[in-house]
Structure 1
């Protein structure tokens, strides 16, 4: 356990998981040193647009689906509504989201996130020239109070959302090219926060990659459920439900058993290293240490590292 609260950086590659390939060496290096697993999502509603999917999946990831489904309702206790804001839910947590997506900007504001445009980190405000990735990484870490020395922090948690076309919209390879951005950021962050530095001791880094719009028919090789097809019918009722299908003692009514979010988490001397060596569905399934948790529990796990929530699960 760390000697003081951590500060969390979450790099969220929205819809980019299928485009990770062997050339993305920084992502694979992270996976080989991290604790890896899956975040399960609910099934998508019929006829959902891509913009709706982006907002809904982010809402699930930060356990704010009720706020997403009630866009006209209030979000604070003071207004007589549900307790949706991140500060109220997590002991005064200060959080920011870096994104160019209009829906996430609006929804993030409702949830109490400070919203920062991705362009402000990708390009220099003076010349509009692209910033070196090392400078982008350093600016993100400064938001968490990390500089040459550990400084008073602006935020406890910073989400960086990278979706299709947000970084490069020049050609049809935009989505695949966008993986280069989080890959390079991971390399720069890991270099700045080398093991043994003050940053490495108090930075909790999560990399989340989702598959975007998907179906079980399209992604037959991305299922992580335990099949009961070969189980004796008389004994099938004795097979326990997997924990990700449960909420408390009740079964979750809507669980997608395929195409989960891929999750790798790293904090020096805090997270447990597993046997995964590459950032891939197959390696996480065979060698990941975290197995599967519901996506709506992710933020609770991160908040625990920040001393902003009790431990979820074992």
Structure 2
């Protein structure tokens, strides 16, 4: 925990986890210095299409599933991006936290605006420059980091960047775009130590729509699976499967989101060396947490939420 409130950047690679490879050197470098683990999702509804999945999983990350269900009932409309819903906004839930969302997905824009995000498109952030380093600088400006300095006040305390398979900049797209941005941010976090000590960076990679039997192999249910015979019944139930002292009824054990969190001289480092499911499973230090706890954990780093749990 830093001695001052952090400012948070979240890079969300939506549906890109299955494209990870050794070629993504910056993502693998991040994993080697970060705290790595998983975010457990609920099962997808059978009638869900791809656009609905994108918004629903974003809502799960915000612990705003109630707002998502309400928006589905009313119909998410692109022409009313700032429409207010009965569900509390991000600022109302987290002590006035100011948050921005960068995405080109129209449904994400509508839902983000509805729950209190200031929404930007990729073109608005990149402007006339097509370089990822320029975009990284613009994103840091939103958080009050400029030219290696930390401004006393910032426009936002949380910036959430959504990158899907079709997100593109200067011919670079999808997983390669995430990798390049991670490299830019790591460079600034290390070389500009004033920024690094206050920038809490989370990189999330999801698998998107599950495809079939092969995805069942990507299971977190055996994190504590050991050959101990009858003693296996004595292993406690993992906390991500519980809520309010009762078992969660809807936890998908396979294809979780992969999460790496890094803040210079603040986050713990585990034994993971690559941004990969198997490495996180065997060497990650954060194990599995429910996806709806993610934003609460980040808000705590910003001094916008009390610590939950033990």
TM-score, with structure 1 as normaliser = 0.89
Q: Does 1:103 align with 2:107?
A: yes
Separation in structure 1 between the aligned mates of residue 260 and residue 221 of structure 2, nearest angstrom? 20
Q: Which residue of 1 aligns with 2:159?
A: 158
Give the secondary-structure state (helix, strand or coil) at the position aligned to 1:194.
Answer: helix
Aligned to 2:6: 6
1:300 alignment partner in structure 2: 296
Deviation at 1:198, TM superposition (A): 0.8
The list of structure 1 runs, each at least 4 consecutive aligned residues, that deviate by more than 3 angstroms after superposition, is 80-83, 227-232, 234-239
Deviation at 1:21, TM superposition (A): 0.8
- The answer on 1:51 being equivalent to 2:55 is no
Deviations 1:57-110 (A, max 9, x none): 00001100011001268xxxxxx9754210000000000000000111000011
In the alignment, structure 2 segments of 5+ residues that lack a partner are 75-83
After superposition, the C-alpha distances for 1:131-167 in whole angstroms (9 at most, x for unaligned) are 2211111100000000021122000000000012122
Map of 2:79 onto structure 1: none
Relative to structure 2, which stretch is displaced further, 54-63 or 186-195? 186-195
Alignment partners' CA distance in 1, 2:66 and 2:167: 27
Deviations 1:9-63 (A, max 9, x none): 0000000001011111000000000000000000000021000000000000110
Change (3 A) 1:258 1:201: same
Distance 1:289 1:239 in 2: 19
Aligned counterpart, 1:287: 283
CA RMSD of aligned residues (A): 2.4
- 1:33 corresponding residue in structure 2: 33
Question: What is residue 114 of structure 1 aligned with on the other side?
Answer: 118
The 1:140–1:228 alpha-carbon spacing in structure 2 relative to 1, beyond 3 Å, is closer
Q: Against the structure 1 CA distance between its residues 153 and 228, is the aligned structure 2 distance closer, same or farther, given a 3 Å change threshold?
A: closer
- Secondary structure at the aligned position of 2:138 is classed as helix
Residues 62 and 296 in structure 1, CA contact (< 8 A), matched pair in contact too? yes
CA distances 1:248-281 after superposition (whole Å, capped 9, x unpaired): 2011110000000000000011110000000000
TM (normalized to structure 2)? 0.90
Q: Distance in 2 between matches of 1:241 and 1:215?
A: 28
> How far off its partner does 1:179 sit?
0.7
Structure 1: 5+ residue runs without aligned partners?
Answer: 74-79, 125-129
- Offset at 1:194? 1.2
